[in-house]
Amino acid sequence: MGPSSTPNPLVAALELAFQRSRATDAPLNVRLKVIADEVRALSDEFADAVDVFVGRLERAGAGETAPQVGQVMPSFILPDENGHFVSLEDLLARAPVAIAFHRGHWCPYCRLNAVALAEVQDLVAPVQIVAISAERQPFTQTIKSEAGWVDDKMSSMIAGAGWDIPAYQGDAAWILPIPAVFVVDMQGIIRTRHVDPDYRRRMEIEDLLTAVRAVT
């Protein structure tokens, strides 16, 4: 949604639901369900489209080919929110990492997930939490400071709500990552993996805490 545009009623209502969820200390997936319930209450059409979309991804085995526990995490060099390039090797030279892949700053589920990760950042130390999204720098800054392929019908509904994914990502394609978390030890080996094509569910924070204890 552009800064000068009028918020779509669905987006405005989801923002209120996000703020309510953020203020609670409930488990992450309970907080996420508040968003999903709000979507259903506001628009059966949108909620049904999400169910169909997620079901198609699940039947296709989306995410199954992502790196597995025991494998080496693929190397990367990516710009951070300030435009500085960071490599996986640089991170692992300091400490293990928990790498979280997000859809973007516009997604209320990702925003809640980012908030929950920020809340436990001190608890997981020295493990480093690294968030990765496909968005351009201004939008990665947005989600940090606040703390699959998309079919035609789903992309039309997302765009209709005012979320301009191609503009956020700097690309004409409608491509969204599957939310995932990989806990990687200092040798670069994946010790815990959570990949779920249903973006309304995320790795529970207690499970993350258990995972990071195993690599420290």
Instruction: Give a yes or no: residue 146 inside a domain.
Output: yes
Task: Burial-class residue 118 by CB neighbours within 10 Å (0-12, 13-18, 19+).
Answer: middle
Instruction: Give a yes or no: residue 158 inside a domain.
Output: yes
- pLDDT at site 80: 78
Under a CB-based contact definition with an 8 Å cutoff, are residues 215 and 104 in contact?
no
Instruction: Give a yes or no: residue 1 inside a domain.
Output: no
Instruction: Give a yes or no: residue 62 inside a domain.
Output: yes
| Residue 195, strand partner residues | 180
- pLDDT at site 4: 47
- pLDDT at site 123: 94
**First vs last C-alpha separation in the chain:** 40
Under a CB-based contact definition with an 8 Å cutoff, are residues 154 and 37 in contact?
no
CATH number reported for the structural domain that contains residue 135 in this entry: 3.40.30.10
- pLDDT at site 165: 47
Residues spanned by the domain of 141: 9-213
Average pLDDT per run of 10 along the chain, which is 216 residues long?
Answer: 61 91 94 95 91 92 94 91 87 96 87 92 94 64 50 52 50 68 98 95 97 95
Q: What are phi and psi of 184, to 5 degrees?
A: -120, 130
Q: What are phi and psi of 39, to 5 degrees?
A: -60, -45
- pLDDT at site 105: 79
Provide the edge-to-edge strand list for the sheet that holds 180-184. 128-132, 97-101, 180-184, 190-195
Instruction: Give a yes or no: residue 4 inside a domain.
Output: no
- pLDDT at site 133: 82
- pLDDT at site 9: 84
Under a CB-based contact definition with an 8 Å cutoff, are residues 197 and 63 in contact?
yes
Number of domains in the chain: 1
